[in-house]
Structure 1
Amino acid sequence: MPCLNLSTNVNLEGVDTSSILSEATSTVAKLIGKPEAPAAYGELVSIGGLNAEVNKKLSAAVADILSTKLSVPKSRFFLKFFDAKASFSYLLGVIGSIYKVFNIIQLMDNIIK
């Protein structure tokens, strides 16, 4: 089940992204010998609360939703779990605070000029 994720800094206004993604998906599937049948991939990040029992229940529940709403067979759904440590969140909070302070300094600098 290949899952191609693409990101770009190119302005996509007026671009037919659907045809680009369709062609890229077909190319990937062909070159690695995998089907283009409906499939889904997800990532779940949580600070605590994840374990083998919970992950199994989460996978089943989300697979049911995707099967019902998108006709993605449960056997073609993959959910990746990541139990983040609270200390990582603190680090991200500090980085976010530094970024906000930097933006305020830039704003004040622009006002002074």
Structure 2
Amino acid sequence: MPCLDISTNVNLDGFDTDSLFSDLTKAFVMILVKGSVALSFGGNREPAALAEIVAMSVINTEMKRKLIATIGSILQNKLCIPRTRFVLKVFDATVAGKNSKL
């Protein structure tokens, strides 16, 4: 299962992240959420997020669409980040590992 790293400009101080982690854990093994990040999207600092997924298997287009929909819904419902202000970056670790000497 993939790992998820979310950076957002939303201040998470005092926010109960348990329900956020609970929802995200259904799809991801490891989750990292960083709040209060200096992040501008579209030239302004309204709530926005960048999510990065590192997967140990190929994530095809259909899977990406489902992940975008799932993560987007959670961010909108839990952190009030509109789906239009969320970007997902996917990294396939198996491709990088094929040329690795480790």
* SS across alignment from 2:44: coil
Give CA-to-partner distance per residue, 1:48-91, whole Å, 9 cap, x none.
14010000000100000000000000000001011122671894
Q: Please name the residue that 1:38 is paired with.
A: 47
In 2, the alpha carbon distance for the partners of 1:54 and 1:37 equals 28
Q: Please name the residue that 2:64 is paired with.
A: 55
Whether 1:70 and 2:79 are equivalent positions in the alignment is: yes
AA matched with 2:80: S
In 1, the alpha carbon distance for the partners of 2:66 and 2:83 equals 13
Uncovered stretches (5+) of structure 2, i.e. residues with no partner: 1-6, 9-34
Higher strand share: 2
Closer, same or farther: CA 87–69 of 1 in aligned 2, 3 Å: closer
In 2, the alpha carbon distance for the partners of 1:46 and 1:52 equals 14
In 2, the alpha carbon distance for the partners of 1:50 and 1:69 equals 25
Structure 1 segments, 4+ long, off by >6 Å, are none
AA matched with 1:82: F
Aligned residue-pair number: 70
Q: Which of 82, 88, 94 in structure 2 is aligned with 1:85?
A: 94
Looking at both structures, which has the greater relative contact order when contacts are Cα pairs under 8 Å and sequence separation is at least 6?
A: 2
